[in-house]
A = this chain, B = another copy of it.
Amino acid sequence: MSDLPGRIAIKEEGPREGFQFEKGEIPTARKIALIDALSGTGLRQIQLVSFVPAKNVPGMADAEQVVAGFTRAPGVAYTGLWLNERGLERAIATGKLDIRGHLNLTASETFLLRNQKRTLAENLEALHGIAAMYRRRQVPMDRISIAAAFGCNFEGDIPVGVLLAQVRQMLAVAREHGFEVRTLSLADTMAWATPLSIKRVVGAVREAHPELQIGLHLHDTRGMGIANAWAGLEMGVAQYDAAVGGLGGCPFAAHKGAAGNVCTEDLVFMCEEMGIETGVDLEALLEAARLAEDIVGHPLPGAVKTGGSLRTLRAGIAAAAAA
């Protein structure tokens, strides 16, 4: 257990995940209220919106208004997501976001062919265009990511060798365009990972690329999210994407399909109890999670917002003992 990090960094993706996933229309002011609540929790990075065509993702039609309306807190990086130059232009035009590029590949060719009508080779080629775009627009870029890194609903298990080849290819593209990569994010997009595969894959990647920091983006569709995060912690992984309340999908009746990211407050709870710093005020985050639940209007899967933190219980016990 000596590999446990002393501190982790969490990228909060709940607003973007939630607003683009939820079926009903969420008023812009409510989106802003959630972002402002999250700003006060100690989270250092919050992804607010995606800049994608409204016809594809109706819940993101008000991306510019959301960005215009929230209040920046000092020390917090506010990011957006884009898939092409038009999206990047929109993000830059807000004048209010922290613009950071990254390169992404998908480990599964079958998935790529189905969703983007591209082969892996074509996808790799497209990365050159994206890297050139970042260079041209002077966007900093030090992160690469791989989607479906642990398995794919259409292709099945992903051999570690395929991942490692993709990492090498992305590093080469970045280098060619003058970028130095510091972080590799592995996304369990379709929730195929188990703690054992997390350990195996992270171990193999770290052995091949000890210079890279590894991040994990974990989906909870099969209930493995927190266990996979713990397996990551055991491997020394210190960067996690997460979504407040578990926003971004829901295993309950009215919400079929994939569940959202691992739940931020459950992750913070686990870390806090184990002495791993997150910089987050758990009680404030639980308030934000309850607000998120109120905004979407249905139960969200996070457990600690209902189960309660232990810090509160300990404080009550200590107060009773002192009385």
Instruction: Name A's B-contacting residues (CB within 8 A).
Output: 1, 4, 151, 153-157, 191-192, 194-197, 199, 220-224, 226-227, 229-231, 251-253, 256, 258-259, 263, 266, 269-270, 273-275, 299, 301-304, 306-308, 310, 313-314, 317-318
26 pairs across A/B with beta carbons < 8 Å? A1-B196, A4-B196, A153-B313, A154-B317, A195-B227, A195-B230, A195-B270, A196-B275, A197-B274, A220-B303, A221-B307, A222-B266, A222-B269, A222-B303, A222-B310, A223-B226, A223-B266, A223-B304, A226-B227, A227-B229, A227-B270, A251-B299, A251-B306, A256-B306, A259-B303, A259-B306
Complex contact B313–A156 (CB within 8 A): yes
Tell whether A314 pairs with B156 under 8 Å between CB atoms, given A199-B1, A253-B299, A299-B252.
yes
Complex contact A195–B317 (CB within 8 A): no
Complex contact B191–A307 (CB within 8 A): yes
Q: How many copies does the complex hold?
A: 2
Complex contact A310–B192 (CB within 8 A): yes
Closest to A226 in B: B227
Contact of A230 among B154, B227, B258, B269 (CB under 8 A): B227
Residues of B within 8 A of A259 (CB): 303, 306-307
Residues of B within 8 A of A308 (CB): 222
Residues of B within 8 A of A299 (CB): 251-253, 299
Closest to A254 in B: B299
Complex contact B151–A310 (CB within 8 A): yes
Residues of B within 8 A of A221 (CB): 303, 306-307
Residues of B within 8 A of A230 (CB): 195, 227, 230-231
Residues of B within 8 A of A197 (CB): 273-274
Closest to A190 in B: B313
Complex contact B194–A274 (CB within 8 A): yes
Which of A154, A222, A314 neighbours the largest number of chain B CB atoms within 10 Å of its CB? A222
Closest to A299 in B: B252
Once bound together, how far apart are the Cα atoms of A269 and B196, in whole Å?
A: 13
User: Contacts A151-B310, A195-B227 given; 11 further ones with Cβ under 8 A?
Assistant: A153-B313, A196-B273, A222-B269, A222-B307, A223-B266, A223-B269, A223-B304, A223-B307, A251-B301, A251-B306, A256-B306
Residues of B within 8 A of A224 (CB): 226, 266, 270, 303
Closest to A110 in B: B317
Once bound together, how far apart are the Cα atoms of A314 and B317, in whole Å?
A: 50
Residues of B within 8 A of A199 (CB): 1
